Structure 1
Amino acid sequence: MSTHRSTKPQADQLAQSALTRLLIRKLMPLLVIVYVISFLDRTNIALARHTMSIDLGLSAAAYGLGAGLFFLTYAMLEIPSNLVMNKVGARLWITRIMVTWGVLSIGMAFVRGETSFYVMRLLLGAAEAGLFPGVMLYLTYWFTREERALATGYFLIGVCVANIVGGPLGGALLELDGMLGLRGWQWLFVIEGLPAVLLAIVVWKMLPDKPLEASWLSPAQAAQIEARLAAERDAQAGDGRASHSLRHALGDPQVWLAILVYFCHQLTIYTTIFFLPGVIGASGHFSPLVVGTLSATPWIAAAIGAAALPRFASTSARSRLLLVGGLIVMALGLLIAAHSRPAIGLLGMCLAAFMFFVVQSIIFTFPSSRLSGAALAGGLALVNSCGLLGGFVGPTVMGLIEQSTGSATNGLIVLAVALIIAAVGSLRLRHGDEDRRARAVYCRDAEKAV
């Protein structure tokens, strides 16, 4: 009898692991491809920068401002976009996002100066708003908290793939300069914008809104997923640790602490994306293809980290350890890059990049463990939108530093300091169930004292 009781939970666990692998195999490839294309279209100005700036007369500060303006409208519209997705479903809303950003990305080929450059970057940010937090919300429809760090890690591999593929691809497209009367940077925007529109058709046809709509799940499997997620929501509600309204999310100090950590993280990510090709190009006489290829190397390290480490964030203590350690490693890598020769500096960037998406995959598990319903949709968007302001501040400040000092590496020291601040803040991040246990211990101790 005891043997039967011990083997049944083990069998259930094996069945659940197999179901989780099925979900990852069916959902994540399409979502990763979507994110690959979105990142290509938001960051390809990094490779277009040199010739585009010459043709349009853009200074380093103007380029940095234009690169960052994307994140202003992106951040402003994150929360309403996620609330809409929560009502109309992921399939419709992600399809809409992809069509509009693809068309606007193609339109970047026809900017004529600073003003049109700024306007198009603002519009592109507005079009893409809601994609990342929308996917973070979408994952809560399929995976429990323990599984989401793994799923998010796979999703963030899309950023790595975009930067690995984007460098050589963008460099090759720049070599089309003069074909059909278009400059190389114009070809870059046109050719990399088209796939978003085409892939939107695939998303509309293939992405299920929820388990009960997935044709590749049996009714029993879909019911099992829904039951596990409902049990998790009920446990949160029973603990009193899940906020249901956006007002409660706004008043939770833990949500704002996650925002601080994510802000410092995004400062580093987007400054690296927008300025690394320029730093590499300034260190030698390289062709656009070589610059693009060298720019891809840190993202290979980032992909390895994203695939290998988030799976170990299976408990709150492990999540916090990986988060704090990852931020410190990122800071160390940036300091190496700032004080070394170009070859060693690139290795320093690879060290920092190794932890980029280990950190990002874990950050969102903290607020999501404390929220539900509309608060979950709005809260995840709030964290992402406020954090992504780092994508505006980082490139803008980096552009000013480069213009005033003549070197972009000076800004890396500022970023390293921000990451250390984030690491210290991460020590106080808590999942919702940790608060419940702490309250239980406090109440028990108080009863003993009485």
Structure 2
Amino acid sequence: MVTDKPKLETFMQSDKAGSQTVLPGDRPSLNKRIFWKLMPLLILVYTISFLDRTNIALAKHSMSVDLGLSAATYGLGAGLFFLSYASLEIPSNLLLHRVGARFWITRIMITWGVLSSAMAFVQGETSFYVLRLLLGAAEAGLFPGVILYLTYWFDRKDCARATGFFLLGVCISSVIGGPIGGALLELDGKFGLRGWQWLFFLEGLPAILLAFVVWKKLPDRPSAAPWLSSEEAVGLEDRLSQREHQAAHSFKDCLRDRQVWLAIFVYFCHQITIYAVIFFLPGIIGASGHFSPFLIGVLSAAPWLAASIGAATLPGLAKTSGQSRVLLVVGFLIMAFGLVVAVYSPPALALLAMCVSALMFFGVQSVLFSFPSSRLSGTALAGGLGLLNSCGVLGGFVGPTVMGIVEQTTGKAINGLLLMAGALVFAAVCAIRLRHGSERKYPVAVDDTSTFAPAAER
């Protein structure tokens, strides 16, 4: 791990002396500077990640025809990504905590970019399965790794806000992915390559190129940031050091914490709904029979625009533990209400209801991650975030599977939204029981709204 030696030495001397660091008073200004130095790059990384993750849907038809892949083969290959991705989330995050975010995120991006481009050279079932498994393994740990990385810089409240902005990458890729993918598919026949081959090959290259920007621009931690003064770096490092001494530190502590498992269950309910909407929304809109394929694509982007607004604004409302819990409960109920209205309404009103529901998607997700983050640190936090996200990713299997069964049984995919709404109501009830670390019986007396106060809540 490369660090700024003068800053690190200053921090170590301060720590040995056992004295409180003298900190600058303009903490909002420092937060803003950190935000603009880190978040644009991280948002771009996640945008490219989701473009590469979802391009398999755009390539489905032409790729299946050219390679003779059956629907079952395609479905299994698409799902294998999530299998390897989920199984390696925890070890990947533990390695990031050990070797540093800059190196590990760079490694993730290079390997996933190379493998995504290599999808252009799939020859049949076996190579399709192998590359999808390898692609999931390569990308594993990116999301929980970034969430862990943000805890090095922000306190609980600001970390939730930063997470919301990071999730804008999903919204951006959902809006621009269709037009970009469609344009690349139009290259069909150029230089003897099929359109789907151009799609995979060219969409993998930005990840490789951006990896070198990450290596050059992303500091491992505050002590390595050239745009922080020594005083600012010491303050942030001191906050991080105090957190690591006050919160559960070993992975075993994470596994024994019932609150962590409760957060995992709530997050799983959230994710099965998200993935169900991702895979079935275009079909639900198209089932009305009133829209052209192009208009279906445009209308499908509307909920993701709403989701981006929620991601950028809602986490900032959760300034206290109680407000975080209220936002979760109300958010889940609004999501459920929107899905129910969408089932029983005409197309225009149904789409509006889906937008209202989507408004809460990533605001809720950002705040939810603050609960385990407030109770864990070090290895426990790295492993806990990996465990939380790996269980959530399993929603990529369960949500679409349930929707498919309902569609096959009833003849209407939209009926599956009622089951998703029920899961969200149950998640809202469970969220009432969630507690931040500061709400334990004997909390550490710290101000967790301060940038430089210990962010760990015991």
Cross-structure match for 2:332: 327
Q: Which runs of 5+ in 2 are unaligned?
A: 1-22, 446-458
Comparing 285-294 with 244-253, greater Cα deviation is found at 285-294
Comparing 220-229 with 250-259, greater Cα deviation is found at 220-229
Structure 2 matches for 1:241-256, cutoff 5 A?
A: 242-256=247-261
Cα drift, residue 61 of structure 1: 5.7
Does the Cα contact within 8 Å between 1:258 and 1:366 map onto a contact in 2?
Answer: yes
TM-score with structure 2 setting the length: 0.86
1:426 paired to 2:437:
no
Cross-structure match for 1:389: 394
Cα drift, residue 180 of structure 1: 3.5
Cross-structure match for 1:162: 173
- Name the SS for the 2:441 alignment partner: helix
Deviations 1:59-84 (A, max 9, x none): 66655444333221111101110111
Structure 2 matches for 1:117-196, cutoff 5 A?
A: 117-196=128-207
Cross-structure match for 2:239: 228
Cross-structure match for 2:368: 363
Deviations 1:327-356 (A, max 9, x none): 111112222333333333322221221111
Give the total of aligned pairs: 424
Cross-structure match for 1:33: 44
Cross-structure match for 1:5: none
Does the Cα contact within 8 Å between 1:45 and 1:274 map onto a contact in 2?
Answer: no
1:276 is aligned, of 263, 274, 281, to: 281
- Name the SS for the 2:435 alignment partner: coil
Letter in 1 for 2:49: S
Cross-structure match for 2:7: none
Cα drift, residue 311 of structure 1: 0.4
Cα drift, residue 302 of structure 1: 0.5
Cross-structure match for 1:340: 345
Letter in 1 for 2:130: V
Comparing 406-415 with 178-187, greater Cα deviation is found at 178-187
Q: 1:65 to 1:421 in 2, by over 3 A?
A: farther
RMSD over aligned Cα atoms? 2.5
The whole-number CA distance in structure 2 between the counterparts of 1:130 and 1:155 is: 15
- Name the SS for the 2:440 alignment partner: helix
Cα drift, residue 195 of structure 1: 0.7
Does the Cα contact within 8 Å between 1:73 and 1:122 map onto a contact in 2?
Answer: yes
The whole-number CA distance in structure 2 between the counterparts of 1:422 and 1:391 is: 17
Cross-structure match for 1:317: 322
The whole-number CA distance in structure 2 between the counterparts of 1:387 and 1:110 is: 31
The whole-number CA distance in structure 2 between the counterparts of 1:273 and 1:315 is: 31
The whole-number CA distance in structure 2 between the counterparts of 1:400 and 1:187 is: 34
The whole-number CA distance in structure 2 between the counterparts of 1:402 and 1:172 is: 31
Cα drift, residue 228 of structure 1: 2.8
Deviations 1:396-426 (A, max 9, x none): 3334444555433232222111111111110
Does the Cα contact within 8 Å between 1:47 and 1:292 map onto a contact in 2?
Answer: no
Does the Cα contact within 8 Å between 2:24 and 2:232 map onto a contact in 1?
Answer: no
Q: Which runs of 5+ in 1 are unaligned?
A: 1-11, 441-450
Does the Cα contact within 8 Å between 1:334 and 1:352 map onto a contact in 2?
Answer: yes
Cross-structure match for 1:99: 110
Deviations 1:146-201 (A, max 9, x none): 22111111111111111111132223333333434444333322222211111111
Cross-structure match for 1:15: 26
Which runs of 4 or more aligned residues in structure 1 lie more than 6 Å from their structure 2 counterparts after TM superposition?
A: none
The whole-number CA distance in structure 1 between the counterparts of 2:444 and 2:229 is: 40
Q: 1:184 to 1:285 in 2, by over 3 A?
A: farther
Larger fraction in helix = 1
1:80 paired to 2:91:
yes
Deviations 1:288-326 (A, max 9, x none): 654433322111100101111100111011000111111
Letter in 2 for 1:185: W
Letter in 2 for 1:110: F
Letter in 1 for 2:362: F
2:313 is aligned, of 308, 311, 321, to: 308
2:300 is aligned, of 295, 305, 330, to: 295
Deviations 1:254-307 (A, max 9, x none): 010000011111112222223323434454486665443332211110010111
Cα drift, residue 357 of structure 1: 0.4
Does the Cα contact within 8 Å between 2:248 and 2:377 map onto a contact in 1?
Answer: yes
Does the Cα contact within 8 Å between 2:84 and 2:136 map onto a contact in 1?
Answer: yes
The whole-number CA distance in structure 1 between the counterparts of 2:64 and 2:242 is: 55
Aligned-pair identity (%): 67
Comparing 377-386 with 160-169, greater Cα deviation is found at 160-169
Q: 1:328 to 1:143 in 2, by over 3 A?
A: same
Letter in 1 for 2:122: V
1:266 is aligned, of 264, 267, 271, to: 271
- Name the SS for the 1:309 alignment partner: helix
TM-score with structure 1 setting the length: 0.87
The whole-number CA distance in structure 2 between the counterparts of 1:48 and 1:386 is: 27
- Name the SS for the 2:322 alignment partner: helix
Cross-structure match for 1:447: none
Does the Cα contact within 8 Å between 2:335 and 2:424 map onto a contact in 1?
Answer: yes
Comparing 35-44 with 223-232, greater Cα deviation is found at 223-232
- Name the SS for the 1:70 alignment partner: helix
